[in-house]
Structure 1
Amino acid sequence: MALQRKDQDITNAMSLVHSTKRELQKLRDEGWSFLMDKVYAFCEKHNTNTLMMDEDFVDPRMPRKKSGITNLHHCKVRCFYSVLDYQLQEFNDRFTEVNTDLLICMACLSPANSFYKFDKTKLVKLVEFYPDDFSFGERLTIEHQLGIYIDNVETDERFKNLKNLGDLSRLMVETQKHLAHPFVYRLLKLVLTLPVATANVKRCFSAMKLVKTSTRNSIGDEFMSDCLVCYIEKDMLKSVTNEMVVKRFQSMKERRVHL
């Protein structure tokens, strides 16, 4: 549940990922006996028959064919280990070492809490992920520019209450600081192109599966976009009353009948 919070920052999210992986591995190594104790206790409490683990496993799909394994092997290896191995593999595939480093370094650009997470060393490392976007000379000078940049924005009151990278990018353009710190702004733009930089991207795709069902397969792009906005921003739309909608609709053009 903690990983699904909308306000979760990247650093904490990656820390939770590592903790989850360690707990899954610990459960795989040490959790079988504890699980079986709970299962046996539950069965005893509710007078439910239990499997004899030393007996041969009978596949319900092919009951006449000998499986060659015991119930213990089936439950422990094919079920318990397989499920946990699959979950661990999913974590490893989605959060590789490179992806993890990229996310952690990216978080150092966050303006939240007055640039609390700013780390020059990690941002220099982040630049190394984009060799085609920064020349060798630019990679050598960006560390110096990062020092000037952080001193500049920390002392500027206009940058005090920023919350995300999008706000930082807009304000840099409005204050012309993107011209004073071109390498930092270029790095910021590259980071913003990552889907994880905007948390709503994944939610949009999830919402699309719910909104565009088989009965709505001919829905147009514009109507689809409107439906998605209403679904994704439902918390904000709760403050919109029916009277406001009617007034907005009425003001779009003159009508014969007043709504």
Structure 2
Amino acid sequence: MSVVLRYVDKLGFVKERFIGLVNVKETTALCLKSAIDGLFARFSLSLGRVRGQGYDGASNMSGEFNGLKALILKENPSAYFVHCFAHQLQLVVVGLATKHHEISKFFGEVTDLVNVVTASCKRINVAKEVQRESLGLNPEIETGRGKNQELSLARPGDTRWSSHDKTLLRLISLYPTVFEVLKYIETSASNDFHSTQAIGLQFYMKTFSFVFYLHLMKHILGITNTLCEALQRKDQDILNACELVKSTKKDLQDFRLEGFDSLLEDVTSFCDQHDIEVVKMEDEYVDTRSRRRKTNITNRQHYVVNNFNTVLDMQIQELGNRFSEVTTNLLMCMSSLSPRDNFRAFNKLKLLNLAEMYPHDFNFDEKDKLIYELGHYIANVKEDTHFDNLNGVSDLAQRMVETRKNIDYPLVYRLIKLSLLLPVATASVERSFSSMKHVKTELRNRMGDGYMNDCCLCYIEKEFFQQVSIEDVMQRFQTMKTRRQQL
């Protein structure tokens, strides 16, 4: 189990620091809770000081009654839980792919396409050779250092954020290359199954439906990928993340209302460029699964109503269902701290309610003092030009420290820090797990837990260890005990 602490430093910056790996015998909530208690005790930390916890949606972690979240909340009611936004966003993408028949078929074909093209080194080399020839034959393509480098198809994965978007972008740019590789497989395959599979994929890639779904999902995933990348920032605060979720939903709604014509232009242009037959929108739609049966609908109705509108409605609805934290009372109170539009969202009553939610951080006298401090605070910051054009609560905290207003308004600054402590995503935890691949390799697969934890700590928090000179390390080891020779 990887444990990462999130805190606000003395300068008002949000920090996420890896503190260690813990070996657990099983992944039950009780076992994980016991491991966390042991880790906190080793570092003289108190679980009662925790003001937020974030995990994925697994039942042992976020279970309402017996999950790790519930066990910590029983001990500390102020440790509010936030379901990882990045995991929820990935579930939106996966959920869409499984609920809509045509999109599910499309992603299934894309997965088969990537697996077939990248199945062997020989096929990968053929793809690279086709790319080199296309770059050399086209005089309009500019080449040089950092330009038009060799690309390869990326495998989409349900657990890898942004992988679907990357796959579709590569597929559009490498469309002619992929098609040539499939032709090569058709003629040089060692058995009929691979040859037939390559023929079927070529046929599917030459259909208008494939190009339509390719560009539709590329645009949808492009909108959601912007949110995905923003959520993985270490200093991202939850209020800004909620604003990004709302703006993402708005972009999807705008695309649903006005985006079909521009999408159709992109699809038509792509089809003309690669000699793909473009269907006429006013003709009757023919279902490829039953060509003799009349559908009594036009191609426009099929692609607009049954696909474009339906897919976007499902995406918007799924975003609303997954991100339930946006409407919670806690975040509604925290939103009053937002400095945007000259503190337009400021609400004294909501901020007083926010202080009530943290009974261990505000005693009776401080709550009474907070009423007057909020009035002086809002009047001061609205007139101070240093607080103009701030993007979020994290910027507000840093500006408070810079102008020393955190000393003038300590209780307000405490509310700001509490809002920054809520975790947005578990990206730092995921990165720590990924770093283990670099530390515990096949050549070092028998290292103990303590040694692996120390190595991971040095690798993940390398920015601290880069400040330590080699001479200091040698001096430390030299003074540990008497040695025959000077290091």
CA gap of 1:212–1:6, structure 2 versus 1, over 3 A, is closer
Is 2:266 aligned against 1:42?
A: no
Q: Structure 2 CA distance, aligned partners of 1:145 and 1:90?
A: 41
> Are the aligned partners of 2:256 and 2:312 in contact in 1 as well (CA < 8 Å)?
yes
* Deviation readout 1:115-146 (Å, 9 max, x if unpaired): x9768943541332454545899766532133
Residue 125 (structure 1) aligned to one of 344, 350, 359: 350
More strand as a share of residues: 2
Instruction: Describe the SS at the equivalent of 1:28.
Output: helix
Residue 372 (structure 2) aligned to one of 139, 144, 149: 144
Q: Structure 1 CA distance, aligned partners of 2:296 and 2:486?
A: 77
Q: CA deviation at 1:224?
A: 4.0
Q: Structure 1 CA distance, aligned partners of 2:333 and 2:448?
A: 37
Provide the residue aligned with 2:193 in structure 1: none
Q: CA deviation at 1:87?
A: 4.0
Structure 2 residue ranges without an equivalent (≥5): 1-225, 382-393
Instruction: For 2:336, give the aligned amino acid.
Output: C
Is 2:427 aligned against 1:220?
A: no
> Are the aligned partners of 1:165 and 1:188 in contact in 2 as well (CA < 8 Å)?
yes
Is 2:255 aligned against 1:27?
A: yes
Is 2:330 aligned against 1:104?
A: no
> Are the aligned partners of 2:337 and 2:345 in contact in 1 as well (CA < 8 Å)?
no
Q: Structure 2 CA distance, aligned partners of 1:25 and 1:220?
A: 49
After TM superposition, the score normalised by the length of structure 1 is 0.56
After TM superposition, the score normalised by the length of structure 2 is 0.34
Mapping for residues 31-110 of structure 1, pairs under 5 Å: 31-51=259-279, 54-58=284-288, 75-76=303-304, 79-89=307-317, 91-92=319-320, 93-94=322-323, 96-98=326-328, 101-107=332-338
Instruction: Describe the SS at the equivalent of 2:426.
Output: helix
Residue 205 (structure 1) aligned to one of 417, 420, 429: 429
> Are the aligned partners of 1:166 and 1:192 in contact in 2 as well (CA < 8 Å)?
no
Provide the residue aligned with 2:423 in structure 1: 195
Provide the residue aligned with 1:159 in structure 2: none
Percent of matched pairs sharing the same residue: 28
Provide the residue aligned with 2:474 in structure 1: 250
Aligned-residue RMSD, C-alpha: 5.4
Q: Structure 2 CA distance, aligned partners of 1:120 and 1:49?
A: 53
Range 93-102 or range 6-15, more displaced: 6-15
Q: CA deviation at 1:27?
A: 0.6
> Are the aligned partners of 1:21 and 1:88 in contact in 2 as well (CA < 8 Å)?
yes
Instruction: Describe the SS at the equivalent of 2:336.
Output: helix
Instruction: Describe the SS at the equivalent of 1:96.
Output: helix
> Are the aligned partners of 2:336 and 2:350 in contact in 1 as well (CA < 8 Å)?
yes
Is 2:469 aligned against 1:240?
A: no
Provide the residue aligned with 1:156 in structure 2: none
Structure 1 residue ranges without an equivalent (≥5): 111-115, 154-161
Q: Which has the higher contact order (CA 8 A, sep 6+)?
A: 2
Instruction: For 2:449, give the aligned amino acid.
Output: G
